[in-house]
Chains A and B, each alone.
Chain A
Amino acid sequence: MSHSGTGPVVSFENVSKHYGSLRAVDGLSLDLRPRETVALLGPNGAGKSTSLDMLLALRKPTSGKITMFGKDPYHAVKAGDVGAMLQSGGLMPEVTVRELVTLVTGLHPRPVPVDTTLRRAGIADIADQRVDRLSGGQTQRVRFALAIVGECDLIVLDEPTTAMDVETRQLFWADMKEEVAEGKTLLFATHYLEEADQAADRILVINRGRLLADGTPAEIKSRAGAKRMSFRLDKVNEPFLLGLPGIVSVDVRGDVVQIQSSDSDATLYAVLDAGYRPREVEIGSLGLEQAFLAITAEDDAANGAANGAQPVKETI
């Protein structure tokens, strides 16, 4: 293990990456602390892959500074401080899975036994198959294996479960939790909100290359500012409902009332104080998906007018 301090594992200081007039990453600042599992969440083209590419020294920032374990990314990568799996990372064809894992293990300064890696990545049973004859999900697992061939304190995964079916995806995260339980820091990019919600203890929401929200899944959900409430009520008076405290929106269908409120307690008490007795009251958080949409939509709306809502290319 190469990292013992308590300083940030990864630090972005006002990092930007421009492609011509396109700002793929725009003034990104963030710190990852030891032993965190962090999801980098954002729509396609938000700058997730570009950020990870810069962190892994595959691309140079246009401006700003990135450090990993206090070193510049290139030297950290060459010291074997980080295990990474990229969406765009390919495999050497014409060799068996075992030969490939053995090769990459041999390049690492602190190698893990090949059989351990094969088992952890769940590819021991396909070890003798040729790399270029695997299914999409198997290929993903081999790429994951290449990220864990050495002892290192940071693992970076770019959309790790793309091309995996639901079952494989669950197995993958079960394995991943074992890795993280050993005290590693994990940073992964995803556009699966569920995945971020379930696997991460911290979520960074990025859109248009900027950090929009940073918090626990619960905090991100509440960042959208509203709770969802529903109940049944006969003889509903819509103007009355709209006058309730904390109301964000009201939707009435027959006797079913759905409300979004920034203060669900106050809203409910006001309904009761007015003498109503609603039935089947349910109060819940907005889902992460709704929160995420609310956060990014807010940002798009704020930028849309200024930037002319330029489409962001998906390939960056």
Chain B
Amino acid sequence: MHGTLLLSRTEISRMRRNRRFLITTLAFPVVLYLLIGTRAKATVYGVDFAAYYMVAMATLGSFSGALMNNSIRISQERKEGWIRQLRLTPLPPSAYVVAKLLAAMAISVPSVVIVLLLGRFVGSVHMSAGSWISVAVVVWLGALIFAALAVAIGYRLQPDQVQPIATLIYFVFIILGGVFFPLGGTLQQIGKFTPTYEAVKISTDLVGGVSVPAGLVVGMVVWLVIFVGLAALSVRAMAESV
């Protein structure tokens, strides 16, 4: 465990230096929230637009960093042989993946916290302390779900394939999940099954103080299980070719 934590710490410190990473996870959702979140006047999912957009942008930050950056990095590190090199160390084989997941979760903390603080103090969103914590945790779990998906993609595909596929997945989940703007009609019926929608809707229900449907929570857990399973399959399938 010591080795895994050491690797996670190094992963976090190198990600903090990566400008592109900081822009996608931190700057992008913060700027969008300041530009749009506090100006639009509407009610979405039964709460103020400022509250909806707060949880949407927090979800965007935690999810985009975990998916985009991780999948491309993992694919490159596999291609360049860093994963092979790590297998020659006393680290357990799972350490690389566990460190990626831990690092993705750690690195998404600032963006979640900052966007929620903006929501509270700029967007005037109010709820109980317990609800704030629950929202933060739900949105934060999105990073874990998508970091697992990133492992599944990054282990299996070449770097030049990862970029377009991860981008496609990104937009599908962002748009169908109603993260950029809430959907209506058929698209919303389809989008209801995305983990991004589930994270946003659970959070707005928490803000609105209504009871959260169990189906949404189960849905997020199912996505997590599916992506972790896919990741494990990819890692196993590529065992002799990393």
List residues of A whose CB falls within 8 A of some B CB: 56-60, 77-80, 82, 84, 86, 88-95, 99, 103-104, 106-109, 143, 146
Contacts and interface: CB of A to CB of B under 8 A. Distances in A.
B81 A88 contact: yes
19 contacts: A56-B88, A57-B87, A58-B87, A77-B88, A78-B90, A80-B89, A82-B88, A86-B81, A86-B88, A89-B81, A89-B85, A90-B81, A90-B85, A92-B77, A104-B89, A107-B6, A107-B91, A108-B89, A143-B85
Contacts of B6: 103, 106-107
> What are the 8 A-B residue pairs with the smallest beta carbon separation, nearest first?
A90-B81, A90-B80, A89-B85, A90-B82, A94-B14, A107-B89, A107-B3, A88-B81
B10 interface: yes
A89 B88 contact: yes
B84 interface: yes
Contacts of A108: 89-90
A90 B84 contact: yes
Contacts of B82: 89-93
Contacts of B104: none
Interface of B: 3, 6-7, 10, 13-14, 17-18, 76-77, 79-85, 87-92, 240
A89 B84 contact: yes
A56 B13 CA distance: 29
B85 A91 contact: yes
Task: Say whether chain A's binding surface is mostly helix, strand, loop, or mixed.
Answer: loop
A93 B3 CA distance: 19
A108 B7 CA distance: 12
Contacts of B80: 90-91, 93
Contacts of A77: 87-88, 90
Contacts of A94: 14, 17-18
A159 to B, nearest CB: 13
A99 to B, nearest CB: 7
The residue in A56, A86, A106, A146 that gathers the most chain B C-beta atoms within 10 A of its C-beta is: A106
Given A58-B240, A59-B240, A103-B10, A78 B92 contact: yes
Nearest to B7: A103
B90 A146 contact: no
Contacts of B18: 94
A146 B85 contact: yes
A194 B84 CA distance: 29
Contact of B85 (A57, A86, A95, A99): A86
Contacts of A106: 3, 6
A299 to B, nearest CB: 27
Contacts of B87: 56-58, 77
A96 to B, nearest CB: 10
A60 B240 contact: yes
The residue in B77, B89, B91, B92 that gathers the most chain A C-beta atoms within 10 A of its C-beta is: B89
A79 B88 contact: no
Nearest to A82: B88
A92 B77 CA distance: 7
Given A92-B14, A92-B77, A103-B6, A58 B90 contact: no
A237 B80 CA distance: 62
Contacts of B85: 86, 89-91, 143, 146
Given A107-B3, A108-B89, 14 more contacts: A58-B84, A59-B240, A80-B90, A84-B88, A86-B84, A86-B85, A89-B85, A90-B79, A91-B82, A93-B76, A93-B82, A95-B14, A107-B7, A107-B91
A92 B90 CA distance: 17
B78 to A, nearest CB: 9
Contacts of A95: 10, 13-14
Contacts of B83: 90
B234 to A, nearest CB: 17
Contacts of A103: 6-7, 10
A201 to B, nearest CB: 25
A143 B84 CA distance: 12
Nearest to A99: B10
B240 A79 contact: no
Contacts of A91: 80, 82, 85
Nearest to B91: A107
